[in-house]
Structure 1
Amino acid sequence: MERVAATGVGGSSQPPRGLGLVEVQAAAASLRRSEVLHVVKELLGFVLYMHHQIPSVLQNLENEFADLKEEMTEMALPSADLKPSDKRKYNTRKREVKRKIKKQEKLMSGLSNLLSALQKALDQVPSIGGVLLILGGSLVRPLFVYDIIISHGRFDSGSANEHGASKLAQSVSRKAIRALISSGAGSLSYTGPTKLFVLVRCPCTLNLPLEFLPKRDFRYSKKVLPLQMCIKCNTASDQKCHQQIASTVDASSCTSESSLSDVIWFQCKHTVRGLPCKASLEG
């Protein structure tokens, strides 16, 4: 496997326009587990939508799928009292709802399993160095890489399963998405569905859930330049953030780091495969 290198496609020393370091300031000393989960979910949804892997933004997709499931449940009730003309319309709609549910079910199940696994992982770790979102057919030869670094990812006793997003989580998510759009994220088009992989960066001594597999010597093609984002908390200096970023492209980045004591990537075994979208088909 080839290691990550800070060079552009084809070995150029200048990164393509729109790629490189993106910094987002969080107005707090640190992010809670639930806030990290919310931010990652929002960025994950953004990446899928901007690269034409889902037909609409994630929140709309979740609401639509929930409404379809609810409508299907209601349609399971007896309909003997309907007139023949109404019954035909009823059966036509029922087939349409079934078709839409079948089309989206695998995608929504994959998203649910991935986020559930990430929630469990966050609840079991005292700190997290970052999250890697990879789009492509395989981990080692990705199409796009989003490297999200958290400058102060040390957690308190809170759980990632807290209901509702805090104002801080919403603010950081909005800033992060705006910053990625301004940096040209999603401007490189790709036609056709592909896979989304998620990895988390934690100390190798941790016992993460079975859904996460240790990838001690993880590398991907040097032809792919990641878009790196550093979410900086008030207690973290610019120097620390840049040191963490530099370590991700250093040859020893996945096996040692003085401040985090033997940090490696853990890959979530759940992946999300995108849907054929209109934008992709037209591309």
Structure 2
Amino acid sequence: MEAAPSGGGGRGGGGGDEQRGLGLLEVQAAAAALRRSEVFHVVKELLGFVLYMHHQIPSVLQNLENEFASLKEEMTEMTLPPAELKPSDQRKYNTRKRVVRCRIKKQEKLMNGISTLLSALQQALDEVPSIEGVVLILGGSLVRPLFVYDITISHGRFDSGSAKEHALTKLAQSVSRKAIRALVSRGAGSLSYTGPSKLFLLVRCPSTLNMPLDFLPKRDFRYSKKVVPLQMHIKCNAADCQVNNQQRLSIVDAPRCTSESYLSDVIWFQCKHTIRGLPGKASFEG
């Protein structure tokens, strides 16, 4: 990617000014390595943070998932109404059924988009021995984003575990909390609502890896110079110091370093699934 000039301004309503000059955020993981499921949980939490803080979803992701699951369960239970109801109770029943159906319809596309993207990420993590990092891009397109979150992960090679493991470890919770606190401390998401946007996910891996079909190689990836990414480095204790220093190089600097064998082997893969936020900031705040 092309680096943004230090004196340039952001696009109208864009994220350049918010993220400019923030420097590199470092988050220390109190372990020698992160498992696939732990990397997945951290990325999911950061993705949910980005969507919520930029007013793309009405509540934090976990609450939204729980609410949607409850609505689906309630609708299933309401498929067969009680045999006998008083007229007043029947009206209440019908009204509630319409409300539940309407809320499901409003959120279904969003929730399906989130679920599909996260499932693709799990599959990618399960099929590669290691990843260098992820980038979350919010905006109308990849080349003209509003906000960019560039997250480097120094975790070593994955073990034999799966990203689909349901057990949530204390390490994953700790790293997620530290990462979100660090972003909040730098004012991430503090700008006004810019309307519903798309969230794009890219994963940084060696170009020789066979990624799932849901991920497309983006070797010559570039975006607008007006946007400076907010960079975060999640570090594990056992990561090699020299590799860490190289991994600190931003996504914006990588194309300039193709002469180095370490970086020339690494490219971005874009998930073909995106998440489109819900419109209506006012309704979120009610």
Task: Tell me by how many angstroms 1:246 deviates.
Answer: 2.0
CA 1:81/1:281 → structure 2, altered by over 3 Å: closer, same or farther?
Answer: closer
Number of equivalenced pairs: 279
Q: 2:48: which partner in 1?
A: 45
TM-score normalised over the length of structure 2: 0.91
Specify which of 209, 232, 239 is matched with residue 236 of structure 1: 239
Q: 1:278: which partner in 2?
A: 281
Task: Tell me by how many angstroms 1:183 deviates.
Answer: 1.0
Q: 1:21: which partner in 2?
A: 24
Q: Match of 2:121, SS?
A: helix
Between 133-142 and 256-265, the greater mean CA deviation after superposition: 256-265
Map residues 1-283 of structure 1 onto 2, 5 A cutoff: 3-8=1-6, 10=8, 19-236=22-239, 240-246=243-249, 248-250=251-253, 252=255, 258-259=261-262, 262-279=265-282
Check the 8 A contact 1:52/1:280 in 2, yes or no: no
Which segments of 5 or more consecutive residues in structure 2 lack a partner in the other structure? Answer: 11-16
Between 155-164 and 111-120, the greater mean CA deviation after superposition: 155-164
* In 1: Cα distance, 2:209 partner to 2:130 partner: 10
* In 2: Cα distance, 1:244 partner to 1:26 partner: 16
CA 1:256/1:117 → structure 2, altered by over 3 Å: closer, same or farther?
Answer: farther
Between 99-108 and 149-158, the greater mean CA deviation after superposition: 149-158
* In 2: Cα distance, 1:152 partner to 1:81 partner: 60
Between 205-214 and 168-177, the greater mean CA deviation after superposition: 205-214
* In 1: Cα distance, 2:148 partner to 2:163 partner: 25
* In 2: Cα distance, 1:9 partner to 1:36 partner: 35
* In 2: Cα distance, 1:129 partner to 1:253 partner: 17
Q: 2:13: which partner in 1?
A: none
* In 2: Cα distance, 1:226 partner to 1:273 partner: 20
CA 1:206/1:44 → structure 2, altered by over 3 Å: closer, same or farther?
Answer: same
* In 1: Cα distance, 2:263 partner to 2:60 partner: 35
Between 104-113 and 230-239, the greater mean CA deviation after superposition: 230-239
> Which amino acid in 2 is paired with 1:232?
K
Check the 8 A contact 2:71/2:104 in 1, yes or no: yes
Task: Tell me by how many angstroms 1:17 deviates.
Answer: 5.7
1:175-220 Cα shifts (integer Å, max 9, x gaps): 0000000011111223311000000000111111111111011111
* In 2: Cα distance, 1:16 partner to 1:264 partner: 24
Task: Tell me by how many angstroms 1:164 deviates.
Answer: 2.1
* In 2: Cα distance, 1:241 partner to 1:280 partner: 43
1:224-265 Cα shifts (integer Å, max 9, x gaps): 000000000001356543422325222526856533661100
State the identity %.
80
* In 1: Cα distance, 2:257 partner to 2:120 partner: 22
* In 1: Cα distance, 2:156 partner to 2:192 partner: 32
CA 1:269/1:253 → structure 2, altered by over 3 Å: closer, same or farther?
Answer: farther
Check the 8 A contact 1:6/1:225 in 2, yes or no: yes
1:134-193 Cα shifts (integer Å, max 9, x gaps): 000000110000000002242111110111210000000000000000011111223311
Q: 2:14: which partner in 1?
A: none
CA 1:254/1:274 → structure 2, altered by over 3 Å: closer, same or farther?
Answer: farther
